[in-house]
Amino acid sequence: MKSGDLPSGIDRRALVSALTLLPAFPQLFLPATVRAQTVAGAPLASWNEGSAKQAILNFVRVATDRTNPQFVPPEQRIATFDQDGTLWVEHPIYSQVVYCLDRVPAVVGRKPELKTVEPFKTVLSGDREAMARLSRHDLETILAATLTGMPVEEFEAEVKTWLETAKHPRWKRPYTDLVYQPMLDVLQYLRDNAFRTYIVTGGGQDFVRVYSQRVYGIPLEQVVGTIGGTKFGYDKDGKPFLTKEPKLLLNNDSAGKPEGIHLMIGRRPRAAFGNSVGDREMLEYTGAGDGARLMMLVLHDDAQREYAYGPARGLPESKIGTFTPALDDEAKRNGWTVISMKNDWKRIFPFDS
């Protein structure tokens, strides 16, 4: 490259020295088109050819083409992803709920009077059938006891420790291994084209922030989740700290998702990915704007490689991650693309051969 190729005002030596910094913070510094072209092979390598893969490629082509009337200016390139069932496995039970149940002995250890009190007693018994019968209110009691009341740094450390040791009952691997490789491909492909990728989850914002960078390459600032309040105070040495409070500021599910997006991002997404009725409003909100748009829903129709649940399209009913016939109808009506795990995904997990 000759120096004459550089736009005026950019110092050559400074540019070279800046580029040597790239490995430390690649996402911020490296122009999108460079990354796209240096990634080995074609994008979306874990996807089979088909209408789902094509929908993603078409969207990005249109959104990044300055000559297209549907071109999306870089500052508006926001893509939002539900987590449970969209980016990683949500069956047989949400990972965060497993975390809360696993934390009960520690909570009771600190407050022994809870040992004989429900629902803690049932959780301590280890009786899985009894635990499955716990009411929503019981579950909320457990969530409040295990997710709040401690300094935020203490909570983060506890989650980190748990993630290193807890294993999924089916695959006997850490929960953070059970992410879908095709969705990691989509995240990377969108980022390569200057999209900022956000998680928009019903899970706890502070919980998901602990691992979002490591697992998804999404910085913690770009996690929108269910938000609990914190309370500022001082420890005995006068040092300020924040305590997690049992106060719900935003339930980031269903109608709460567009509300959370407005609160945390302040822009309407251009692309949104979900897998259940809890993602319906996010996809509707995303689709209601002008210009290039992409709305996609993951259908879990692969009992062999993952799970099969609906109840759309004759799949078994599910308490977790419900994909109803009504959602399927709305997808058809609105031009949302349904992703068949079985047919559209070449492999499911990064550890699959």
Q: What is the DSSP string of 55-72?
A: HHHHHHHHHT-TTSTT--
Residue ranges binding its own copies (CB under 8 A): 1-3, 5-7, 9-12, 14-22, 24-25, 28-29, 31-34, 37-38, 73-75, 152, 194, 205-206, 209, 213, 219-221, 223, 227, 229-232, 239-242, 249-250, 255-256, 258-259, 262-267, 281, 284-285, 288
Smallest gap from Cβ 136 to its own copies, in A, equals 22
Listed in sequence order, the residues at least 6 apart from 184 whose beta carbon sits closer than 8 Å to its beta carbon are 46, 216, 217, 350
Smallest gap from Cβ 198 to its own copies, in A, equals 10
CA distance 327 to 313: 11
Smallest gap from Cβ 101 to its own copies, in A, equals 25
For its own copies, give the closer residue by CB, 147 or 348: 147
For its own copies, give the closer residue by CB, 85 or 225: 225
Alpha helices, DSSP H, located in 204-318: 205-209, 212-216, 256-264, 280-287
For its own copies, give the closer residue by CB, 123 or 264: 264
Token digits of residue 330: 């709305």
Q: Which amino acid, residue 286?
A: T
Smallest gap from Cβ 21 to its own copies, in A, equals 7
For its own copies, give the closer residue by CB, 18 or 130: 18
Smallest gap from Cβ 224 to its own copies, in A, equals 10
Smallest gap from Cβ 222 to its own copies, in A, equals 9
For its own copies, give the closer residue by CB, 120 or 216: 216
For its own copies, give the closer residue by CB, 256 or 274: 256
Please give the backbone phi and psi of residue 266, each rounded to the nearest 5 degrees, phi first: 80, 10
Q: In the chain, what's the furthest Cα-to-Cα distance?
A: 78
> Cβ(315)–Cβ(308) under 8 Å?
yes
Of 326, 342, 345, 323, which is closest to residue 334 (Cα–Cα)?
326
